[in-house]
Chain A
Amino acid sequence: MSNTLIEFFYLLAAVLFILGLKGLGHPRTAVGGNLAAAIGMLLAIVVTLLDQRIVGFSVIIGGFAAGSIVGAIMAYRAPMTAMPQMVAVFNGFGGGASMLAAGAALEEVLAGDLLEPLGTQFTVSTASAAIIGAVAFSGSLIAFAKLQGLISERPILLPGRHIMNAAMLLACLGLGGWLVMEPTSSLPVWAMGAVATVLGIMLVIPIGGADMPVVICLLNAYSGAAAAGLGWSLNNSVLVIAGSLVGASGFILTALMCKAMNRSLANVIFAGVGAVAASEADTEDVYSGRVKSASAEEVAMLMDGARRVVIVPGYGLAVAHGQYAVQDLTQALEARGVEVEFGIHPVAGRMPGHMNVLLAEADVPYEKLKEMDEINPTFKQTDVVLVVGANDVVNPLARKSDPSIPIAGMPILDVDQARTVVIIKRSLSPGFAGIPNPLFAAENSLMLYGDAKKVITDLVAAFKES
């Protein structure tokens, strides 16, 4: 196939990717959008296989088989609550693939094969793809481990870590410079890859579990950038376009997440928020004697007299797999004429849109899932708010501008403006930010202790009897 024809089909694939991403803008066109992008990918792959430089297919077929089996099994066996981990792990695979392919390309060019001319463009882009890909690879695996609970969700702060990270980055850049100046050996690229892999680990380990949404978006952007870098080194247009699209997508989402938390990206990555839980004394001051608790029956009676109920889900709901119980409750309430809506904070859960997917899985119609700005004005007219497994996103301390408060300035759901707030939690333990929540001690608040799924199931039963 002539080069022009290949480039034409690559352009077609890129168009399909763009249309696919556009389709993801509305639930009705989203499935078709995903399909369009998949077809674009298939097109790009088939056209590439017709490239005359490919001499042997055994390795390729072997790789296809291994990758497809692993990918398909993981995609279908993962529960919806594990979506953040899945995105992290797949992203890691992509980053790693870019790194290895960049290294292999350099090996091939050095072995004398004129894959690409050995110029500055090639060496710079190969080095970039290798570094960024390696960071995306190891960073994603650490993110996966944290989300999966394989390592502690709390930030792990090693002494001198900023200096070590800076040193590693400089080392990578130095090795890159070496490669560009003297492209005679592939050693620099493998050394770069190794150092960057460690750097990736070091960058993600000090970030706590609840900041993972930002980290995953950023790592997604990195693997897009690595693909674009590889495309630049191989002079492949579809790699550059698709990689840039994904890179842009990741960076925008990262910025949106940071804005939603009112923290700068630098703060998220470097500040180690959440490492220190509030001292016993602080917590006592906020809560002592003022926290009232209730039973499921009492809360059910409360809801019986309500006209409007808003449910605010958080990570705790995901952990407890309580989304189906929540749907049962919603249906029971609506059968009695109660208006039910959901308030979804942009960073609730461990990934942007995490709560939406969980509730959609439980068949909650998506018009009920309201964004923060839409639902905040309605809390004044809301009778009962059920906060399920959420903490920091409803913490009134965020309204203060005291810099010692980790969540200061973060926009929150104004649930305290409702008539009654019921918080479903296993205990009074602090949320991710490690600070007490005055909402729990407020006049109009009631705690309902227990595992979210069990508590809500009890609520449904009690409600149906009342």
Chain B
Amino acid sequence: MESFIGALTIFVLALFLGFEVIGKVPPLLHTPLMSGSNAISGITLVGALVTAGMQLTTLTTVLGFFSVAMATANVVGGFLVTHRMLGMFHRK
């Protein structure tokens, strides 16, 4: 994924895919959808890991710690809360 056009291609395709997949979720499940997709946005943790792991200067190390911590909270909290919510839906 080197070039701008490569990134743009993936971005556009992912947007279309997102529209298609999300459009099918019924209002019943909109809250878990919000919290689940919010958990997935914690993928920023991957970016935080690379920048934090380099430990280049004190500043970047401190920034790295906070960005990893915050992104981890996003991921862990998001998936756990979604799991908790989903466990409550049941049929008669």
A contact residues vs B (CB 8 Å cutoff): 7, 17-18, 20-22, 24-27, 30-31, 33-35, 37-38, 41, 44-45, 48-49, 51, 53-57, 59-60, 62-64, 66-68, 70-72, 74-76, 78, 80, 83, 86-87, 90-91, 93-94, 96-98, 100-105, 107-108, 111, 113, 115, 121, 133, 216-217, 220, 223-224, 226-228, 230-232, 234-250, 252-253, 344, 346, 351-354, 356-357, 360-361, 363, 365-367, 369, 371
Contact = CB atoms under 8 A, between A and B. Distances in A.
Instruction: Name the residue in A20, A98, A352 with the highest tally of chain B Cβ atoms < 10 Å from its Cβ.
Output: A98
Contacts of A30: 29, 32, 86, 89
Interface of B: 1-2, 4, 7, 10-11, 14-19, 21-57, 59-61, 63-92
Contacts of A344: 27-28
Given A60-B53, A97-B70, A239-B46, A223 B14 contact: no
Given A22-B24, A97-B42, 17 more contacts: A44-B43, A48-B50, A59-B61, A60-B49, A68-B72, A86-B77, A87-B34, A87-B35, A90-B35, A101-B44, A101-B52, A101-B71, A217-B34, A245-B18, A248-B17, A352-B27, A366-B89
Contact of A94 (B26, B44, B60): B44
Contacts of A72: 76-77, 80
A158 to B, nearest CB: 28
A61 B18 CA distance: 32
A5 to B, nearest CB: 15
Contacts of B75: 41, 67, 71
B40 A360 contact: no
A249 B16 CA distance: 10
B91 A367 contact: yes
B44 to A, nearest CB: 4
- What is the interface of chain B mostly: helix, strand, loop, or mixed? helix
A150 B56 CA distance: 39
Contacts of A27: 28-29, 86, 89-91
A101 B50 CA distance: 9
B47 A231 contact: yes
Contacts of B86: 27, 30-31, 34
B51 A25 contact: no
B48 A51 contact: no
A359 B50 CA distance: 42
A97 B51 contact: no
B70 A352 contact: no
B10 A240 contact: yes
B72 to A, nearest CB: 3
A362 B80 CA distance: 19
Nearest to A91: B38
